[in-house]
Amino acid sequence: MTTLIVTVALALVGYLATYLNGVRLAQRQARLARVNLQLSDFYGPLFALMEANSRTYDTFSERHARPDGRDPFDHDIPPTERELAEWRTWAGTVFLPNIQAMRDVVVTKADLLIEQEMPPALLQLCAHVSGYEITAARWAQGRYEEHLSVIPFPGRELMDYTRDRFTRLKREQAILLGHKATESRRS
């Protein structure tokens, strides 16, 4: 009788351990699937677009720098008509499509946010894009009195936000996959 009780108890403990391990593995798989989705559909595209936009803007600023090294929009002397025409080309071809793509990621994939509420930098991005769309619509009408969005671009805040969240999720993904998490820093 005692042997039967011990056998039943061991079987029960074994079953319970297997069940709890299965639950833990299922939760880990579900978390990994969510992190993968957050990286592939939200933070990855947002980070890549932000980096591309930033590097392209830096290139514009270098190519069109004034003799003192500053770009025409960061200067005491207003941009010339030639500089403004060049800006419209860059903005209409590269910057506006990039920031519209960023806004579209935010608007269509907000369910993948890490936070419970929309971060201010993302709200500012959406407002900035809308402001630039008004400016671009005026350009299409031949009206060039404005050349920037009526709402400032949250450049530094958005860069910090996207880099931090992307890196955090990549680290978590590595841990969930059983890899040692490594911190990669760029200079």
Structure tokens at 84: 């403004």
pLDDT tens string 2-47: 887 878 777 777 777 786 777 787 788 889 999 999 999 999 999 9
pLDDT tens string 76-92: 889 999 999 999 999 99
How far apart, in Å, are the Cα atoms of 59 and each of 62, 65, 86, 155? Answer: 5, 10, 13, 15
Closest CA to 39 of 105, 104, 100: 105
Q: Which residue has the tokens 């993948």?
A: 112
CA dihedral 96, 98, 99, 102 (to 10 degrees): 150
Q: Which residue has the tokens 């269509």?
A: 108
CB–CB of 173/35 below 8 Å?
Answer: yes
User: Which ranges constitute the DSSP H helices of 94-151?
Assistant: 96-108, 120-140
Q: What is the pTM of this model?
A: 0.82
Cβ neighbours of residue 52 under 8 Å, at least 6 residues apart? 98
Please name the helix (run of DSSP H) or strand (run of DSSP E) that holds residue 18, with its range, or none: helix 2-37
Closest CA to 151 of 109, 114, 123, 177: 123
pLDDT tens string 61-75: 999 988 888 888 887
Question: What is the distance between the alpha carbons of residues 123 and 121, in angstroms, rounded to a whole number?
Answer: 6
pLDDT tens string 110-165: 999 999 999 999 999 999 999 999 999 999 999 999 999 999 999 999 999 999 99
Using pLDDT thresholds of 50, 70 and 90, give the confidence band for residue 181. low
